Structure 1
């Protein structure tokens, strides 16, 4: 039997590569004769550059950029021909936030884009997702030369004083460069489904501060480009998607970009079963996340798709709406303590058990 293993990262515990290897280890214990094809995936968030490097080759250039609170952090630019790939989470990821989420800035993401341009890239693809910022991408714009009557690089809180923004220098900096925003979400910048309301709590924004932060983002949008703030993907990565869009970026779902890069459709057609996974499998997985994207590819190839996850938070009806035949929970099998303490071993054990049902 041929099995395509295409998981996302298990956030906070396993990278996509480690997750794929753990699933393969457990599967082989139960079905050593099965042919396994490992295709680690990403949706634009953490792991985006690593997955593309493994699939496309190219060179990795090490750079140092400003973290969310000003501390220098290491990052890389992946260069493949005249295209450069960068990952916003490396410069502004949630794991880098060490102070108030209201002052976390995306400035370092702009520095990453700048480094890519300085290296001669004609196309710069920015993976969005996993950010700890909610500054509307103002920091990114500042790093590329945008100016304002207020503070662009002070996080969301800095936007309180912004009434006008001049993007001329930033747009000039990117003259002749095609920008691509690889977005894992469809949310607009502001409002009920905006960056602050939808993703603020997971970044540490207190519930009673969300309306204030959303108001700052509204003011910032009014000072730059209100219409663009309503577009799909503007709320990605705390609004970094918005900043890229106002600079003329094309938006492309991150999962689609990675799917093409790893030739997932072709590999799914050669498989009998497709296995995907992520840390928490819930209905938000429909918003451009890896399991939904992989399941779509499997469906087009007329192959069944199953999911292994840290937690499964949807019922069978919702699961099938996402294109998944069955989903299996790590926490239910081994308990939360072991799932977090020894995630690789635990995932291998889950894969072994699942293979008893699905391998011929």
Structure 2
């Protein structure tokens, strides 16, 4: 799997700056940027603010908004603004490259935090999309590398079905273009992965990019203990990829990887088999790498995931099935508070009510 990090931010900023320098002598104040109500100049300054804001949050591990604004020096021309885009891009690149993998900082949409990969994807998205807006306003062509667009889509647009062209799909998903057979987008947001904390673990939502890598035999971007990930995690990753390709993935109802807080190592997987049904019932499943078994991780993770789900208004019950011969898993689900409700020749069925 291609990493999403500082290299991608640097690539996006370099491409943007190269284009904008070719038109720095033109009027940016008197021309709106594409479909925005902002001028091209204000949009360029907004790119700078986004990049420095993301860098600041990630660098200090900010738990909330950092109250500051970015103001250009008096008399700064358009070329000077491009200089600031490059400078703030370099600061975000450095913050991403020096941040440990497990660090998260505040971002409001939609689960109130993002890791270094999320900030990289958001930074790239801001640069690509607003460079497009400026280019459209000034009437010049712009098309970033397709791989950068795919990086963004598979990290922070998990709910968007892949299209025939990554750049056109990103433009459509953000209300900037059309795709055949799809209705125009008038409201949109991106989605960083959900993380649920327990006493010894974090349950980290797996992005489509990570799921595709896990399905293909990779690590999904996680550092696993020896023997991981187990077969069930790879199977669950395949379900995530299938839902993503169909455009029906709701990432909070997908796969989570269990990561130990003490060392950042992944020990297993847990998640849902899909969104809650019309009666508010959702199915759960879990597994652990062999080296992590017998230490209570699965029970702890299942309690954490269940608590998050049952606190929602759209969930009334969770259920799971366990093979009759799988005594350890039966112990896990019982300790997590589930009750056996039925059985057949091969499995027991368990349920936990809201």
Which TM-score applies when normalising by structure 2? 0.28
**Structure with bigger gyration radius:** 2
Question: Which structure has more RCO (C-alpha within 8 Å, separation ≥ 6)?
Answer: 1
The structure whose residues are more often strand, as a share, is: 1
